[in-house]
């Protein structure tokens, strides 16, 4: 299954790849040249298609579980100050997504969307320490039943140029639901209460919508 964010990009890619092929055939280029172009074009198209893939995920979560909001590699686990929404200490888990990862962003918990905000910014590499506060980014906060609030921040990377958000304040969400998308290499930060139990480690490769990365305590 392909994600809706890829519809325009895939269509444009097909047009761009078709034009040189038409030109080669009109100029009666050698068969080897046409074949070589077709192979290269199919490889490029395959890369675009794999980037926008949207695999079905089966989310199984108990109350208090925090599910990975994205595929990728865990690169940060630390206690930090979150200045935008909580304005206080929180536990941060960051997941870096390479261009080869699935780039769908999923709700880490069930509950209600209470805050969303988009920020223009720089395009530092996504693993840069300042990317969380200086890069183009969107912040989404979800209120869980009896377990506090969870914030995720979508962060554009060095080549990412579009962050999509599909929820608005007041909108209910179900854990594992598609809530956003980031194009071409990026990062998602998760901010949890300081007493949350972390169930992942640096270097882990969680699956968005399936892997439990933390557990919240009842408040």
> Of the listed 94, 132, 138, 186, which one is catalytic?
186
Beta strand residue intervals within 56-202, DSSP E = 65-67, 73-82, 88-97, 104-106, 111-119, 137-144, 148-156, 163-165, 172-173, 178-182, 186-192, 197-198
- Contact 137/152 with Cβ under 8 angstroms? no
- Contact 157/137 with Cβ under 8 angstroms? no
How remote is the C-alpha of 47 from its chain's centroid? 17
- What are the helix and strand counts (H, E) for the chain? 3, 13
Helix (H) or strand (E) holding 196: none
- Contact 113/172 with Cβ under 8 angstroms? yes
Q: Is residue 186 annotated as a catalytic residue, yes or no?
A: yes
The one-character DSSP state at 159 is S
Which residues lie closer than 8 Å to 35 by C-beta, 6 or more apart?
A: none
Q: 10 Å Cβ neighbour count for 11? A: 10
- Cα-trace Rg, the chain: 20
Catalytically annotated residues: 186
């Amino acid at each position: 299954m392909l994600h809706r964010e890829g519809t325009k990009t895939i269509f444009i890619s097909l047009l761009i790849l078709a034009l040189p092929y038409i030109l080669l055939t009109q100029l009666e280029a050698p068969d080897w040249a046409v074949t070589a172009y077709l192979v290269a074009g199919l490889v490029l198209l395959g890369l675009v298609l794999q980037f926008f893939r949207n695999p079905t995920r089966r989310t199984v979560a108990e109350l208090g579980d925090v599910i990975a909001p994205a595929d990728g590699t865990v690169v940060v686990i630390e206690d930090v100050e979150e200045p935008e929404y909580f304005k206080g200490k929180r536990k941060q888990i960051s997941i870096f997504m390479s261009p080869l990862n699935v780039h769908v962003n999923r709700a880490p918990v069930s509950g209600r969307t209470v805050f969303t905000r988009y920020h223009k910014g720089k395009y530092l590499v996504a693993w840069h320490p300042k990317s969380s506060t200086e890069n183009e980014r969107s912040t989404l906060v979800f209120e869980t039943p009896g377990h506090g609030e969870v914030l995720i921040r979508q962060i554009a990377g060095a080549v990412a140029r579009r962050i999509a958000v599909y929820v608005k304040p007041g909108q209910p969400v179900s854990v594992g639901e598609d809530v956003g998308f980031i194009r071409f290499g990026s990062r998602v930060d998760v901010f949890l209460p300081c007493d949350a139990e972390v169930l992942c480690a640096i270097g882990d490769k969680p699956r968005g919508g399936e892997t439990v990365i933390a557990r919240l305590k009842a408040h």
